[in-house]
Structure 1
Amino acid sequence: AFESGSLSSSRCLILIGGLTDGLLSLPYVEKLSSKLESLSKPYSLIQPLFRSSNLQYGWHTINDDIEDLKCLINYLINNRNHLKSIILMGHSTGCQDIIHYLRQDKNHSKIIQVILQGPVSDREYLSKISSTKDQLDYCFKNSKYINEWLPRYLHDPPLTIQRCLSLNQQNSIEDFFSSDLTDEQLKNIYDNIETPITWIWSKQDEYVPNDIKYHVENFVKNKLANKNNSTFILLDMNK
């Protein structure tokens, strides 16, 4: 992990990027670090490198991400006696990591806030890409071999059958933001999460198919961000 800003602070924000992201991948990282440092109660910014970072997401699972995140958080708690609080911030698929972590690990008293920037559905985005159907056909035919990679002509960089199905199947272990999830499925995902969540939604998000943009925005606002301790922020770059 790489830490910047107020290194002696008792507070930190952990920023988790999306698929293919690594250190400094997001364009706002430098400004975010400076802003956190300038607060009256400053935060440091921590950018972890998971096993799935950069182009390695294809042969790692979201459970691997949670193991890596737990390792980082436990290290901070055990080695920084002055640590008071942690904020988790996710970008795109990094948002799924955070929701999965909160569902699995109930011992996160140091985590006072979650920020989800661009919490979009990988499944809904990938469903609009023509190659996805061929990938899924291959996965279903070879589902006994979940750790095998898809042929390069179907997907490059490397992608296992297991991760391909996880990204594309409804109600999979990382399908948390799809607008066709039922109320019962949403209840199962979110009902036991008590940490305050800020949902940051962009009208111009390139990973939301144009034909469902309005529907998905309303879904996030009215179905996801209506939970206890949730806040919805809409970003419109055209205004």
Structure 2
Amino acid sequence: MTESREHLQTLTEIRGLMERSTKFLSLSGLSGVSAGLIAMGGALAAYLRLRKGWFTFFDSAHYDTFTPMSRRQLMEFLFIDASIVLTLALLAAWYFTSRKARRQGLSVWTSASRRLIGALAVPLLAAGIFCLGLVYHQLLWLVCPTMLTFYGLTLLNASRYTYRDLEYLGLCEIVLGLLSLFLTGYSLLAWTIGFGVLHVVYGTVMWLKYDRPTHGRPTNGLLTND
């Protein structure tokens, strides 16, 4: 029995070394939770500023009349709101991921993390330019479905370089984005669910599965990651 345990431990260590070289396993569940809470805060700010219900935001037929602001004021507000949400979410993700990496005795900047950033950056940059094109052509009601769908595809692409659980979040984002394409009056609600609620749920599950300190088992997800 002792020899079997030693063999199992050796195999686990080998697997851990292989995964560390190909996958970024310091991604913290608290990053997802914080990003979701920040996104919900940004959505709440939009709801209060635009003075409309969650179910009447960017109706494709009447998106010009849903707010007392001018189009320029609307664009400026949404740009500032989105920029603040993105900046705070990135800072929170960096903080919690760096903290987890330090606790694991690992470096954040590795070949695996560089591949992960590349897998995230390219499609997100394309999505950003595409959304700017939609705004330029005054197709505002298409921005939310586009953001959610592109983001889901980005997560599917990035899941190859970190925990495979990211696939499930990506699939949920894609489904929500496609639904919001046909239910355009629900854009703010869909955005809140996609970037807020789903991130909180995903981050909580990831924290319970990989980050929560437990006795008698590793907390870096090497044994439970598939």
Normalised TM-score (structure 2)? 0.28
Greater percentage in strand: 1
Q: Which is bigger in relative contact order (C-alpha 8 A, separation at least 6)?
A: 2
Question: If the length of structure 1 is used for normalisation, what is the TM-score?
Answer: 0.27
